[in-house]
């Protein structure tokens, strides 16, 4: 799978470990940074990943910051992106199955690498259920078109 990935300074160390594991699993990664633990502004990195996903250059996006929340807020400003915060396995499964989330954000301060790997695996391997959920996702798309 083609995956865009990025982190801010708080998520840098976890991003590097996740990036290696994902590459070893055969995924094609586009790393949008950051490249160190030096302080950066997370919206810049969230936007880069979100734009890749929205343009179809990547099938999914992964974001890592301290809480995960800031990255989700920023990514969801890009039309075509449905970013979700990873907190537990069932929630991540439902964001894919019901919301067709295409970007997942992980809070490096609130989970271990092992937990992050488990949630990302669920995110990458869960399909969209469609049906009544497709109607709802289309309504989200219409909100984007309206500029709400």
Known active-site residue 148: no
Give the contacts of 75 (CB within 8 A, at least 6 positions apart). Answer: 46, 47, 49, 50, 61, 63, 81, 83, 103, 105
How far, in Å, CA of 125 to CA of 121, rounded? 6
Contact, 124 vs 60, CB < 8 A? Answer: yes
Residue from 98, 133, 141, 148 carrying the catalytic annotation: 98
Pairing status of strand 60-65 against strand 2-7? parallel
How far, in Å, CA of 7 to CA of 3, rounded? 13
Residue from 65, 133, 141, 148 carrying the catalytic annotation: 65
- DSSP for 108-123 reads TTSS-HHHHHHHHHHH
How far, in Å, CA of 48 to CA of 61, rounded? 10
Active-site amino acid positions: 65, 98
């Amino acid at each position: 799978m083609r995956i865009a990935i990025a982190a801010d300074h708080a998520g840098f160390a976890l991003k590097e470990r996740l990036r290696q594991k994902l590459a070893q699993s055969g995924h094609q990664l586009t790393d949008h940074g950051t490249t160190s633990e030096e302080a950066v502004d997370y919206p810049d990195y969230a936007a880069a990943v979100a734009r890749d996903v929205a343009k179809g250059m990547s099938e999914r996006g992964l974001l890592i910051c301290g809480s995960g929340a800031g990255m989700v807020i920023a990514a969801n400003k890009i039309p075509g992106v449905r970013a979700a915060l990873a907190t537990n396995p069932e929630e991540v499964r439902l964001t894919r199955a019901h919301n067709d989330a295409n970007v997942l954000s992980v809070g490096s301060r609130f989970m271990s690498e092992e937990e992050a790997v488990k949630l990302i695996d669920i995110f990458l391997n869960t399909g969209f259920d469609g049906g009544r959920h497709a109607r709802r996702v289309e309504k989200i798309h219409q909100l984007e078109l309206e500029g709400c």
